[in-house]
Structure 1
Amino acid sequence: MTPVQLSLSYGQAFVAPDRWRHRSSMSVRFPEPPLLAAKGACALISDSTLRNNLAKQAGDLSVKGFLADYFSTPDHWDVKTSATRVLRALNAWCFSQNRQMSDGSYVSSLSAMVYRGREAHLFHMGDTLVFRLRGAEFEQISRDHVTDLGGYRYPSRAMGMDSGLEIDYASMPLKQGDIFLFTTQAVQGTLMPSDYVRLIREDASDLDAACERLGTAARERAQERGYGGDQFCFQLVRIDALPDEASEDKPGRVYGDLPIPPELSPGDRLDGLEVLSVLSRTAQSRVYHVRDLHSGREMVMKAPSPELSSRNAYLEHFLLQQWVVERVKSPFVVRIMEPSRPRRFLYYLMAHVKGETLAEWARRHPQASLEQRLDIANQLGKAVQALHHRDLLHQRIHPDNVLIDAHGQVVLADFSACHLRDVDGHRRSRGLVRQLGLTEHSAPEYALEDDVGRRSDQYSLASTIYWLLTGELPYALAPNRLRSHTDLEQLAYRSARTLNPEVSVALDDALRRALDPQRALRFRRMSEFRRALRPPRDPAHDAGEGGSRRPGEPNRFWQGVAGILLLLLVLSWLLR
């Protein structure tokens, strides 16, 4: 007998003079069975404020952004972990954009409900409304977060309103026949609970028609009472069938529960992939150069070490690495490749970069010019900045993790320590790096167990660039050797100009600041450091010699102009 799966129906209706100018957004996504078992189905509604020039964009962004990222989270994450991380990352992006705007904002209320198995999970921010109709019982299951200012009601605790996001979370068992209503704050003061029940039950088989009835009734009631009735929207979701408890799948079955591959050697085959060479063997992972026997594509396979136990913290993090890299779209960050057939073992595939590590490149090009080295530094800065734009920390930037292809393209690889910023806390992020081992380019805060963040990556990037320009480290005592905060006094910066006279004073000062042992004293933003890495427009003029324009030439030109004007003035006076 085929097991019963979750099944639902939904209907929607907008009440607005121009649907394309509304400030609300709603959506339902019901994925195919494999994804449905791991992630469930989603229903969302968002609403922005009336006095917002970006109201429509804000509403659409929160809904589309959640759906795009939630279903891409690792299969072994539970619903609460997946949704919470996606919402916080989306809120961080909205808040950062709002700080740069003056005529609108990406602030919106949002209610998202995930239906997985026999349970519903509600995530709520702001003042959107969610109700449940079970039999004759109609109740509101979301809380209104509003603030009264000058007679107007504004949402509070909404998406994009603050750097920290407070999310109301609730889980509840589902029953067949449950109906959930999603609507906005505009409906307050129009319909009574009895009106909702009557209008929905009038013909519950057609949920679109039920939403239209709700919209028409709400508009008429608003007009009778003198309310603004031109911005209503309603969404109904009905649970038609629930899976059997015995047949309910657990999250992670598709990916997280796969076995670790055995030790592989050149010539071995796994899931239609032939091992061409072994690139790396460490205590935590194995990296292989492989070829897909079906397509002929050459790729890089990364798998956990066969010696790892199921409780190892690195193994838990390994499950996140593919998802982490998939979030970043940049030519300077290695791409994830999809396998041509289902995986039977735990691994992921990356694009194969035909090139060499930065350490190998530096050994082969000892006479490379300063401009070449700064070009590499700027490309690497773009790679790190692409990670930071997705709220990710790399945490292991050093020459062996940077690849350069035959065309001079820089690609950042190895995401074994990559972590979502400020999601699991600094302690877990530091612990992951310490388990993998600190490098001579690690920021001092890792050794001293202080808070880490984007400026920690800035330090590692600057240390790698300093090494690229000079062949040495910026401090006689490597930061990974620090034992206490008093050891910081031993970190005396060695000027890059003493090791490479081609380094300008401005560039040396920028490196000094990015490499400050105190994290708070480094550049606030990666973009500031990247600007400081750009070579001067006229290096010859910066050096004070040999240029198309001689020093003092502009002064002599204007002195000549002033002399001519003075002469004309004297002549006009004499000829009166």
Structure 2
Amino acid sequence: MKNPSETPDPIKPQGYVQPLGKIGQYDLLKKIAEGGMGSIYMARSTKDKSVVAIKVMSPLYVHNPVLLKRFEQEYKVASKFNHPNLVRALEFGTDNELPFLVLEFVNGESLGAIINKQGKFEELEGIKIIAQVAKALNQVHKDKLIHRDVKPDNILVGKNGVAKLTDLGLVKEILVGDLNLTRSGRGLGTPNFMAPEQFRDAKNADIRCDIYSLGATLYTMLTGELPYKSVNPLETWMKKVQNDLPTPRELNPRISERTDWAIRRAMDSDPDIRPSSCREFVEDLVGKSTRKSTVTTPALDKTEAKQPIETIWFMSYIDDQGKQHVVKGTAKAIRRSFKDGILEDPLKYKLAKSVEGPFEEMKVFPEFRDLAVHLTKPNSTPNSKTQSADPVPNPTSEPAKT
């Protein structure tokens, strides 16, 4: 990246902005966002004076082959589309070994920034934005692709009200995989907005993961609350598989029953319950669903306590940084976490029926004894820090209320 000349321009047209620097054929006018992989600038072409957005990779990652491939993949995917609700990719290049991606400039803000400033949306306004994003995702899905990171920060809303989906760096092809950028067993995306099955293995994600994330985005828009607020991804996943989340109407009674149901259906832990397409999700929202009795479908009614109440267990463990955590869940959810490969070695975890303890090894409890026997790794020994965590002193994560 080159520094601009120190010599002032004697002729500065109206609206002139002194460039911050230059990359390729573009003058960088101002930084508009900063993320984990780099920064995004508003820029101007020195050739045709057009205004664009440029994503510049941080020098810290220019020698990381996986991130470089993902950066280039975003261009290859986004440049395929010419859709009014998808941010277009215009160019990919390098300047002094610094990769950059030239994108369509959207004169507006991210949906996440808008929510942070104004709080929750009115229902109709929120649905209009989500319907636009659904059109973009439908196009992505028709091309046998999955976005995998739909969230408010990846949706730009222009001053003209047009919503555009961006950040296609995690997109994967449904049929041929994702160029080995995702190792089996590793989830990609943002935990609060990810479908629970995406935690286990991002490679096995299908379009219903995007539908889940779209529903979670609308949940945030209409309630002003982040779904599944938790201290760590494990606690988030545990809540997700149990559908342990306040309904939209519990947080915002002004939301209609129809929209409340549509969001809960899209965010169900069972992918088979979710809509089969983004179009179907929008039909649920606007009352065109072909499903019978959309508000009182038994499989979706989380508010009725007709099923027997399951025992809640508390699980204590020490993370890789040496921090102690306590998460809670039913026996079914805890067993699923091991069977799905979210957790591996049972000896690293202790259980109790109270957050105060006493915490004991899983093999002590009949409900989990088979897991402790069959899943324990050879030569594995209990985590000494976990053993000493009985009773639990000041757990990092407070148990969520039910």
Q: TM-score range by the shorter chain?
A: 0.5 to 0.7
- Contact preservation (8 Å) 2:120, 2:220: no
**Higher CA-based Rg:** 1
Aligned to 1:303, the other structure's residue is in SS state strand
Deviations 1:173-200 (A, max 9, x none): xxxxxxxxxxxxxxxxxxxxxxxxxxxx
Aligned to 1:472, the other structure's residue is in SS state coil
Alignment partner, residue 68 of structure 2:
315
In 1, Cα distance between equivalents of 2:211 and 2:260: 15
In 2, Cα distance between equivalents of 1:296 and 1:511: 43
- Residues 1:499 and 1:473: Cα distance change in structure 2 (over 3 Å): same
Pick the aligned partner of 1:394 from 147, 167, 179: 147
Alignment partner, residue 273 of structure 2:
521
Pairing 1:356–2:109 present? yes
Alignment partner, residue 510 of structure 1:
262
Equivalence map 1:85-104=2 (5 Å): none
TM-score by length of 2: 0.60
What amino acid is the match of 1:525?
S
Pick the aligned partner of 2:123 from 370, 373, 376: 370
Alignment partner, residue 170 of structure 2:
417
Alignment partner, residue 336 of structure 2:
none
In 1, Cα distance between equivalents of 2:240 and 2:121: 33
In 2, Cα distance between equivalents of 1:337 and 1:427: 25
Aligned to 1:289, the other structure's residue is in SS state strand
Deviations 1:450-477 (A, max 9, x none): 6311111111110000110111244455
In 2, Cα distance between equivalents of 1:314 and 1:432: 18
Pairing 1:452–2:205 present? yes
Aligned to 2:192, the other structure's residue is in SS state coil
Identity rate of aligned residues, in percent?
A: 26
Deviation at 1:501, TM superposition (A): 2.1
- Contact preservation (8 Å) 1:458, 1:514: yes
- Contact preservation (8 Å) 1:286, 1:302: yes
Alignment partner, residue 293 of structure 1:
46
In 2, Cα distance between equivalents of 1:438 and 1:492: 18
In 2, Cα distance between equivalents of 1:433 and 1:287: 27
What amino acid is the match of 2:192?
E
Deviations 1:8-66 (A, max 9, x none): xxxxxxxxxxxxxxxxxxxxxxxxxxxxxxxxxxxxxxxxxxxxxxxxxxxxxxxxxxx
In 1, Cα distance between equivalents of 2:52 and 2:217: 27
Alignment partner, residue 271 of structure 1:
24
- Contact preservation (8 Å) 2:186, 2:199: no
In 2, Cα distance between equivalents of 1:529 and 1:369: 18
In 1, Cα distance between equivalents of 2:115 and 2:63: 39
- Residues 1:414 and 1:367: Cα distance change in structure 2 (over 3 Å): closer
Deviation at 1:286, TM superposition (A): 2.9
- Contact preservation (8 Å) 2:38, 2:58: yes
What amino acid is the match of 1:405?
G
* Number of equivalenced pairs: 274
What amino acid is the match of 1:355?
G
- Contact preservation (8 Å) 2:120, 2:221: no
Deviation at 1:272, TM superposition (A): 2.2
Equivalence map 1:98-117=2 (5 Å): none
TM-score by length of 1: 0.43
In 1, Cα distance between equivalents of 2:251 and 2:162: 26
- Residues 1:297 and 1:489: Cα distance change in structure 2 (over 3 Å): closer
Alignment partner, residue 443 of structure 1:
195
Deviation at 1:280, TM superposition (A): 3.2
- Residues 1:262 and 1:304: Cα distance change in structure 2 (over 3 Å): farther
Gaps of 5+ in 1: 1-260, 537-576
In 1, Cα distance between equivalents of 2:119 and 2:168: 28
Deviation at 1:409, TM superposition (A): 0.7
Alignment partner, residue 135 of structure 2:
382
What amino acid is the match of 1:440?
N
Deviations 1:218-250 (A, max 9, x none): xxxxxxxxxxxxxxxxxxxxxxxxxxxxxxxxx
